[in-house]
A and B are shown apart, each in its own frame.
Chain A
Amino acid sequence: MGSMLGDWPSFDPHNFSQLRPSDPSNPSFDPSFNEEMATKLTPATYRPTHSRTLPPPDQVITTEAKNILMRNFYQRAEDKLRPKRAASEHLIPEHGCKQLRASTSN
């Protein structure tokens, strides 16, 4: 997994740089790896290797109960009714990273 990609040659040295191990002291996930290339990678998505337990609730894809038109209305209402902050506070964009999410209740 991960740390192997950090050393591969690529055109842009910044590619895969984020996968570089920052702390080599953690034991590797896969015992077949070389221990020096241990990685502190914690994947954002949980990939189950068994089916004994349910995945965490925020990792399940479900159908949104509201249709897209209603979602648009609610989105615009939220934007309108949320009090506007000063410009300096807008550091993180609203839809920074897309994540799988459970359906919100109506």
Chain B
Amino acid sequence: MFRSINVTSRIFERQIRTPAPGTSVHCARRFYENIVPSFTVYDIECPDHSFRKFTDDGQYLISFSRNHQDLIVYRPMWLSFSCKEEDCCRHDLPPKAKRFESFFTQLYSVTLASCNELICKDFFLSMEGNQFGLFATSTAQIHDAPTTGRAIQGVPFIEKITFHLLRLEDGVVLDEKVFHNDFINLAHNMGVFLYDDLLAIVSLRYQTIHILQVRDLGNLVDVRTIGSFCREDDELFLISNSQSLATSERSRLNPFPGNQVGNGHNQVNQDDSFLSGIKQRLLSFIFQGMWNEETDQAMRVQSLKKKFFFHFQDYVDLIIWKVQFLDRHHLLIKFGSVDGGVSRNVDHHPAFFAVYNMETTEVVAFYQNSAEELYFLFEKFCDHFHATSRNSLHMNFISSHSNNVYALEQLRSIKNKGGSFSQFVKKMMASLPFGCQSQSPSPYFDQSLFRYDEKKFYHVHIMLLQLISATDRHRQSTDHPIKFISRRPPYTLKFKIKPGPEAGTIDGRTKRISSFLFHPFLPLALSIQQTLFLQPSVVNIHFRR
């Protein structure tokens, strides 16, 4: 079947031929091969804001003021002008094309952060259906925090974190959720996951997962809290049996044999006699798994001693790092040691994954990050790890190695590159649990349409991070443009995106960071290059002329 790449003949084809079942979106997307953002306006004059993201429905561009206190929302538009002369195509664009305002209209500016708070400019989640946006403001981070109650040591401390739920249409703040004396990893949406209308917020300091629901009218409602207690009535049960608590405390402090591999610091919860609810579920799952492996009683005890009790303290000291939804009832929780929790470099710390059912409060699966079984599930069903809500249509078409042959080839080539398989597995598992809304739905990232160098797109809200380790986030930008090459014959270069000023920069030594914002469906992209010295950033607009 020879498919023409000429846009006119494609349009005629579209009139007479219906696409194969289930491929209507893919067929429509092929037009993006013809309509590309090939024209660049360099160093456009624009307000000095930090541009964050286009919302996934393409209606809004979210940006924050430089002082991190205001939110400014723009509506992307298309440049329009008229030309009376003949041969208009040859003319240069009018001067108004070089203005930011021709492409974006400001809708409103809202002050979210009060005097001592700052907006976390790396945090933004949008709810497509009702056009809500979730933002976060926080006070400064304090590193040597006093430990109180159930707070764990080693985790920094923020006096006040506020989540603001905003209606994007007009900027009205609908609801707020405040966390006091807590720590939630806000950078790149790491500590928060949004699935449909459910929000999971991980409090690293108190080791709790807060599940909230965003109602249609814009209220944030607490659904459940997982951590110390798993079921809603656990706490009630324990309080009403407070007498049995006192006696069981004595029996619990009996140390287990062979338990020398502690982390150095004692159990922080000196006054609590029970392990937290989620920890108990986890330990019993591990125990049961090992118990059932052997049929002989003596072998069982041997195996338990070696594999379970020997590492008991390690298991007890695990903390929740990150969480994502797998569906409405299941969470994928990443556990690790305290040291690895707040650092970005995850390579040297062992990590574990657990699948937890919130309704039955059972742990369904538990794997170490080097587990091949988990990797095989990841390889085959990657799309199911990206829990996309059912309401969102285009988020289901983002290329991954489970739905795209070229992405799979790339994955295989990394696998076969050499080095040990378990290192490769750990590297792949480092991307789990996936960050929420970290991928752009733009068709220019569709691997079946274009081939491009992903490593150049470091910034989280652009594309697949599997190829880039977490430490590469602040990659130095090069002056070389990023090329998008067609996947179909004749494999030509379709367009290129060059960050930075037109002439290139003379000073090769200053570190520059590039970030790219692609509109979800228009052939429009922004590339922003920042130096680290708070100089105003260079913004280029790439669009189809």
Contact = CB atoms under 8 A, between A and B. Distances in A.
A81 interface: yes
A46 B288 CA distance: 41
B384 A69 contact: yes
Contacts of B293: 84
A76 B371 CA distance: 13
A1 interface: no
B377 A74 contact: no
B355 A81 contact: no
Given A67-B384, A76-B373, 18 more contacts: A68-B384, A69-B377, A69-B381, A69-B385, A70-B327, A70-B330, A70-B355, A70-B384, A73-B355, A73-B364, A74-B364, A76-B365, A77-B364, A80-B288, A81-B289, A81-B292, A84-B292, A86-B295
24 contacts: A66-B327, A68-B384, A70-B327, A70-B330, A70-B355, A70-B364, A70-B384, A72-B377, A72-B381, A73-B365, A76-B365, A76-B373, A77-B365, A80-B288, A80-B292, A81-B288, A81-B289, A82-B292, A83-B292, A84-B292, A84-B293, A84-B295, A85-B295, A106-B357
A77 to B, nearest CB: 5
Contacts, number: 45
Contacts of A86: 295
A85 B385 CA distance: 33
A106 B329 contact: yes
Interface string B363-395: 011000000010001000100110000000000
Nearest to A78: B364
Given A73-B355, A73-B364, A68 B288 contact: no
Contacts of B381: 68-69, 72
How many chain B residues sit at the interface, stated as a range, is 20 to 34
Nearest 3 pairs of A and B residues by beta carbon? A69-B384, A69-B381, A73-B365
Interface string A69-101: 110111011001111111000000000000000
Interface of A: 66-70, 72-74, 76-77, 80-86, 106
B373 to A, nearest CB: 7
B326 interface: yes
Contacts of A76: 365, 373
B144 interface: no
Contacts of B365: 73, 76-77
A77 B363 CA distance: 9
A83 B293 CA distance: 7
A74 B373 CA distance: 13
A79 B330 CA distance: 19
Interface string B299-333: 00000000000000000000000000011011000
Contacts of B86: none
B507 interface: no
A83 B295 contact: yes
B495 to A, nearest CB: 36
A86 B327 CA distance: 36
Contacts of B373: 76
A67 B327 contact: yes
Given A76-B365, A77-B364, A106-B359, A70 B292 contact: no
Nearest to B293: A84
Nearest to B294: A84
Contacts of B330: 70
A86 to B, nearest CB: 7
Nearest to B385: A69
A82 B326 CA distance: 24
A70 B357 CA distance: 10
A85 to B, nearest CB: 8
A81 B381 CA distance: 23
Contacts of A80: 288-289, 292
B326 A70 contact: yes
B389 to A, nearest CB: 13
Contacts of A67: 327, 384
Contacts of B292: 80-84
A104 B2 CA distance: 46
A80 B355 CA distance: 14
Contacts of A69: 326, 377, 381, 384-385
